[in-house]
Amino acid sequence: MPHAKLTIDIPDQTWIGDISAAHPELVFQVVTSIPAADSGIGLVRLTAADPLPIITDIQARDDVQSLELLWKHDDEALLQIQTLNPLPLLPVWRAGVPLKMPFDIQDGEATWEVTTSNSRLSSLRTHLDDIGIDFDIEFVREIGASQADQLLTDRQQEVLLAAVEAGYYRSPRESTLGEVAETLGVANATCSDVLHRAEGHVVHWFVDEHVTGSGGL
């Protein structure tokens, strides 16, 4: 089951895309959202130096059907907004993908995290493309399986575990490559080649996950 993080370009023909791009310092946090008949309803937390002028701008938008100010304190306000153009969330609803809430929108971009099936993730990508919403996939990670299952073949796991159990990676080493190969009943060259490939996968995974932070796309 994949867990994915995406950066979404919010279309500027929507109220939140337009206002967010015009005021890049603003942070909109979508607390929750639901589809309604020909519209969408969202609970949105707004963080701005002075929220009131922004709220006035939102109310003036043609695609905002209603706005209720639920509370305001200093630089924060909580709004319930019904919009006639819930374009950014249409792909999520159509694909049936549970979107992790809350998520932030700033400077015309949203950050989404989803955990779903491969087929629904593929459907989400298709719906985003169909509507013309640009997006970048930050990472896709499988969950519910061991990292070893994702990194190594069964043969690589077998040889690597045999080397570990024989003490090949201890310092000082407790076994030689030849002894590991003998345990497995394979030639030294075969054992060396499989170990080298397994070690390469593990090292590259470690660098991607813990050094470069790329998450291993």
- Domains, the chain, in order of start with CATH, read 2-142 (no CATH), 147-212 (1.10.10)
Map residue 119 onto helix, strand or coil. Answer: helix
The whole-number pLDDT of residue 205 equals 73
pLDDT > 90? residue 1: no
Helix spans in the chain (H): 15-22, 51-59, 90-95, 118-131, 147-151, 154-165, 177-184, 188-206
Q: Which residue has the higher pLDDT, 200 or 163?
A: 163
Residues in contact with 8: Cβ distance below 8 Å, sequence separation at least 6, in sequence order: 88, 109, 110, 111, 112, 128, 133, 134, 135
The whole-number pLDDT of residue 150 equals 62
pLDDT > 50? residue 217: no
> pTM of the full predicted structure?
0.65
Q: How far apart are CA 210 and CA 121, in angstroms?
A: 25
Q: How far apart are CA 54 and CA 157, in angstroms?
A: 57
| pLDDT band for position 146 (cuts 50, 70, 90) | low
The whole-number pLDDT of residue 191 equals 94
Q: How far apart are CA 185 and CA 70, in angstroms?
A: 72
Q: Tens digit of pLDDT for each residue in 21-67?
A: 999 999 999 999 998 878 999 999 999 999 999 999 999 999 999 99
Q: Tens digit of pLDDT for each residue in 63-79?
A: 999 999 999 999 999 99
Q: What angle do CA 21, 112, 51 make, to 5 degrees?
A: 40
In contact, 175 and 168? CB cutoff 8 Å: yes
The whole-number pLDDT of residue 211 equals 61
